[in-house]
Structure 1
Amino acid sequence: MVGNPDFLTGRGQDQAPEFQELESPEGELHLRFFVPSGNEFALPAIGIREVISPTPDRITPIPNVSPLLLGTLNVRGRVIWVADLGQFLGDSAPLNTDRPDISVIAIEDQDLMMGLAVDRIHEMDWLDIEDIQMPTSVPDSMAPFLRGEWVINPDADTVLRLLDQIAILRSARWAT
């Protein structure tokens, strides 16, 4: 087989004579997801430690803490707080925890790590930061945690909002 000239040149019966050119992605990689109200958000992939789907019984409720916190989760020996991201951002619909698993996005900055529980993960997507716009009509409870938004469908007024994970991690809301 090694003596076969087709093997050495990389040309065989199953290879096309021309190379296919791969498109290089534009922008930066982001994780897109939904909160219970149906609003779609994105976080930069660089700020995400990991995405996990624990069963609800793995999240331990802690008494006398902020109602935004669902409890704690042990992730490979490290205990992290898990929060209902939708309620943190001001949505009235709480996260449904009566299901087989909960999508949790673990974000990290320096020594701080937190899990953001969301309704569902959509996809990873390359988004161009230069196309981002300042949010036009957002609730005051959400505004401090937004970097901007992309208009996905202008006819349906559909937007994808980019969150600032460091502002979320360092928020004073966790103390209340």
Structure 2
Amino acid sequence: MVGSPDFLTGRGQDQAPEFQELESPEGELHLRFYTPSGAEFALPATGIREVLSPSPDRITPVPNVSPLLLGTLNVRGRVVWVADLGQFLGDAASLNTDRPEISVIAIEDQDIMLGLAVDRILGMEWLDIENVQATTAAPDSVAPFLRGEWVLGQDGSQCLRLLDQVAILRSARWAA
């Protein structure tokens, strides 16, 4: 069988002689998600360490810290702070932690890791970074953490905002 010419070329009785070409994705890979207020955001995949779905009881509350922080999470022996991203960005609605799992996006930069708790993760998507526009109508609480936005839909009524994970990690808001 290994000596058969059909084996080496990948052709056999059950395979069509034509090969289908896979389309190569355009743009860069991003993770899309929602905050509790319903706002949709994206983070570049290159800045994401991993996506977790721990039960709320795995996040240990810590007293006398910023109200933005939900607590700490043990990620394979490493203690990671978990923050309510919506609250950090100025949402009036706080994250509902009364559910079986909480979606946490672990971002990392220069050995600093932070878990961002979000309402719902949509998934990974290739997005064309060249179509990112300057943000025009972002609230002041969100603007310092945005790289720009994509306008979605035929009528342009929706936008997908691209967050800057390094700006989030380095923010002075964590000291408050």
Q: Structure 1-normalised TM-score?
A: 0.96
Structure-to-structure mapping, 1:25-174, within 5 angstroms? 25-155=25-155, 157-174=157-174
- Structure 2 residue aligned with 1:19: 19
- TM-superposed CA distance for 1:47, in Å, is 0.2
Cα distance in 2 for residues equivalent to 1:80 and 1:3: 54
Cα distance in 1 for residues equivalent to 2:96 and 2:113: 23
Q: Counterpart amino acid of 2:81? A: W
Residues 71-109 of structure 1 show CA distances to partners (whole Å, capped at 9, x for unaligned) of: 011111110110000010011010000000000000001
Summarize the Cα distance change of 1:90–1:154 in structure 2 as closer, same or farther, 3 Å threshold.
farther
Q: How many residues align?
A: 176
Cα distance in 1 for residues equivalent to 2:104 and 2:15: 42
RMSD: 1.1
- TM-superposed CA distance for 1:15, in Å, is 1.1
Cα distance in 1 for residues equivalent to 2:147 and 2:8: 52
Q: Counterpart amino acid of 1:112? A: I
Cα distance in 1 for residues equivalent to 2:67 and 2:78: 22
Structure 2, unpaired ranges of 5+: none
- Structure 2 residue aligned with 1:8: 8
Cα distance in 2 for residues equivalent to 1:42 and 1:121: 10
Summarize the Cα distance change of 1:111–1:9 in structure 2 as closer, same or farther, 3 Å threshold.
closer
Q: Counterpart amino acid of 1:31? A: L
Cα distance in 2 for residues equivalent to 1:8 and 1:165: 47
- TM-superposed CA distance for 1:3, in Å, is 4.2
Structure 1, unpaired ranges of 5+: none
Cα distance in 1 for residues equivalent to 2:129 and 2:66: 33
Q: Counterpart amino acid of 1:27? A: G
Residues 11-70 of structure 1 show CA distances to partners (whole Å, capped at 9, x for unaligned) of: 112211111111111010000001011111000000000000100000000111111000
Q: Counterpart amino acid of 2:158? A: T
Cα distance in 2 for residues equivalent to 1:106 and 1:28: 19
Cα distance in 2 for residues equivalent to 1:2 and 1:24: 31
Q: Structure 2-normalised TM-score?
A: 0.96
Moved over 2 A (4+): 1-10
